[in-house]
Structures are given as structure tokens and as C-alpha cells.
A = this chain, B = another copy of it.
Amino acid sequence: MTAPYPLKTLFKPKSVAILGASRTKGRPGNNVVKNLVEMNFNGEIYPINPHTDELYGLKVYPNIFSVDDIECGIIVLPTKIVVSAVKDCIKKGIKSVIIITEGFAETGTDKGVNYQRELKNLSKKINILGTGTLGVINLPDFSSTYVEIEGLKQNGNVAFISQSGIFTGGMVHYFRTHDFNMSKIISLGNKIGVDDADIIDYLYDDGYTNVICLYIEGITDGNRFIKSARKFIKNRGPIIVLKGGKSPEGKKAALSHTSSIAIDNEIFNSVIKQTGMIAVENLNDFISLSKAFSLYPNEIRGNRIAIITYSGALGVLTSDQCSKFGLKLASLSEKTAEKIKEVIYNRNPYNNPIDTYPATLKSGNERTFITCLKAVLEDPGVDSCILTAWGSDKPDKAENSYSNHLKDVIIEYHKKNKPTIVAVIGEKYGIERQRAFLEKNGVITTIFAD
């Protein structure tokens, strides 16, 4: 355990001090206070700055000793005075500090390395999150961040943990403008005190999180990490992991980023194997999977998939990718084939992928797709479905009717643990519109099925 106090003082503190609260708009030390005020933080807020009296309607204090109890301190001070500030925090009895300040071991300078060593020693006496962190975003209870959080929804089931600061900030903007619904967002930075395992253990008991998305460069304590991850996966749900620093170039970059010795690929692969985490190769997959799991939190029965497509080529490509990821094309039952035959007159009705063109010309788009979709989702030999849908820039009545019908059927079968992913092709704004409509209604979408 690298956190001497309960992490509740980080995620839901009763009172918070901002060491380095700034009058200058746009500066991190100003935005942190602004965010706390605007989110209506339910505890005491103590901005600390000897040169100011008032900030966003709050009284500003000259130092932490001039106020009552503080549970959590957010540090936005210049690098060289961070160590002494943390010592003060310990003296004051503060339980957790979030160090936003950068400039420690990642700089490669003697000074930076020494500061970090001193903080490491202090981390036995106080929870230290950071350095170079965005901290914790846990709305509606608490936020320590300086990036904009307006519009961010946090009553979901997917938690995001990232070693990076700014990257987490970028992701927050992405989440809040792309209708993601995360449970908790945590940025770890240099991991001087609190690390991945501590956070995973906390999320294990938070009552909400059943999926974790994790960006890591290095792991501080392998055995403890494996234990925590394994327990979470066994009893809660999947951990999706994206590792930075796989190549020698990336490794070097990681060192000057979070001062992390990026773990070797071989060791990382062994960690993956021992824990059962899902490793992804790039940010695109990482984010798509986060979204998918936040829209479909249920279990999936198995790996037998049905593909319903407009285009033979898309069927072929989707089949290839399914095979690459260990999914199997389902064998359709006689009952299913009979239902499909009603709309697809010109092909073998046992075919999977189910190619709906040119049958749609005769049977109609909505009727063809809905009939096939219901048929395969009712089939006990099918666990999930990938369906291609169209998005027009200016949809007509028929297209809107179909989209509505489609989402109803998909959501109905979500409840029976049978997910469907909709791959939207079409015109530019049509694709965007159709995806936004479906996702708002809880349907997982993608752009190309492969």
C-alpha cells in the first residue's frame, strides 16, 4: 500500500485547499478554483495565496495554517517550493495531496530527481497523487482539475485511469463532448505515492465501476498490480489496457514524460496473461472499446457473431477482422434461415455474412434489415451481431423510421445479453448524425465494421 490514508479523502474530500490559487484567469491555479465553485462542491473550499483576498466569491487565505481542518490539498505551486508545501500539509494533518506541478524526475535534471526522491519519502505520511497529474474527476462529488468539465457526465460504469496529465485533459474534452458517461477519471502522473493498484482497489468497492480503461507506461509494483487487477477482473469486469513505450523510441519518450521506466514488452505480456486484461494497440481502439463498454455494460454470452451487411466486400472484410480477434461466424439455424428467406429471395439464406443487397430493392430497407436482425438475435447459436446501416445527409421519412425501429430492436436484445454493433456508412453528415442518434439511445456504433 502506497497510500497511508483512505482514498476517500482524494475522491470525495470534505474540505479542500488550493495551494497556489491564482488570480490570473486561464492559469491552472485559477481554473481549479473556478471548477470547484461551478460544480457546486459540497464541502469547504480554501484558496491559499498570501497576495489575494478573494476569488470567485471565496475568501482567500494566506496559508494553510490560517484555516480549519483540511482533508485534501491541491498543489499548483512552482516546482521548487512543492516539497516544503507537502511538509506543511503533513504538519497540518492533511490526508491527501494532488500535485499538479510538473518539473520533477521527468526533466532528467539532478534537481528534479532529488525533489522527487524527497517526495517519495514523504509519501509514507500522506497520500500523494502526482506529480504532473490532473488529479481526480469524480462528479458530482469532486474535481481537482483545471481543464473544462462542463457537460461531463459521470454516472456510468467505466473508469478511466491514465498515467498522463495533459493526455487525460484531452480525453476529458473528448468524453464531455462525445457523450461518454464515465464513472471516475484519474490521472496518476509520476506515481510518487498513489499508483494504479491503489486506484483499482478503490474502484473495486465504489459500487459503480465494472470496466476500467487504463493507460500505463510503467508499473511501480508488479505483484501488487497483478493481484489488484486480477481481483477486479474476476469479480467486477474487464480492464482494457493501452501501454505506452513499447518501442525503444516510445520508451525513451516515456522516461522524459512521467519519469517512468517503461516495462519491457515481455514482462508486460506476462502481466497481461496473468491478469486477463484486454490489451489494445492504439488510442482509437482504446476509446472505441471504452465507449462500447459504457453503452453495453452487460455480459456477452460467447464469440459467435452474425454479420448483416449492404455490401459483400464489407462482409468479407468484417469476417476477416472477426477471425483476427478470435470471433467465429455463427452457423444460422433452420428457423433463422426460414425467416431470412422471407426478405432475401436471391441468396442462400444460411449465408453469414448476410448480404442484403439487392434484396432491399424489393423487400425494402427497414423490413429486410429488421427481419434479419430479429432472426439472428433470436437464434440461440448467435451471441452478437454486427450490422451495417446507412446515414444520409438529408434522411427521408423511411430512413428515420428505420433508424428508430433499429434502435428499439437493439436495445430490446441488450436486455437479453445480445449486443449489436452498428457500422454506419454513407454521406459525411449522415454518418455523424446517424451515429450520434444511435449512441444517444444506447447503441454501440462504429464507422467501418472492420
Contacts and interface: CB of A to CB of B under 8 A. Distances in A.
A43 interface: no
Nearest to A361: B27
A74 B335 CA distance: 40
Contacts of A351: 256
Identical subunits present: 2
Contact of A346 (B103, B162, B426): B103
A163 interface: yes
A110 interface: no
A256 B348 contact: yes
A253 B319 contact: yes
B282 A313 contact: no
Interface in A291-332: 310-317, 319-324, 328-329
A244 B246 CA distance: 29
Given A247-B323, A250-B323, A323-B250, A314 B167 contact: yes
A342 interface: no
A246 B351 CA distance: 18
A206 interface: no
Interface string A156-198: 0000001111110110011011100000000000000000000
A426 B173 contact: yes
A268 interface: no
B313 A250 contact: no
A416 interface: no
A329 B249 contact: yes
B450 A283 contact: yes
A102 B428 CA distance: 28
A427 interface: yes
Nearest to A108: B348
Contacts of A164: 311-313
A173 B431 CA distance: 11
A249 B314 contact: no
A328 B432 CA distance: 35
Interface stretch (A85-93, A352-360, A407-415): A352-360
Contact of A319 (B165, B247, B287, B393): B247
A368 to B, nearest CB: 14
A432 B314 CA distance: 25
Q: For A165, A166, A215, A347, which residue has the most chain B Cβ atoms within 10 angstroms?
A: A166
A77 interface: no
Given A163-B313, A164-B312, A173 B425 contact: yes
B244 A313 contact: yes
Given A167-B312, A244-B317, A246-B324, 13 more contacts: A103-B346, A164-B311, A170-B314, A174-B427, A177-B427, A244-B316, A246-B320, A247-B323, A247-B324, A248-B323, A250-B316, A256-B355, A262-B316
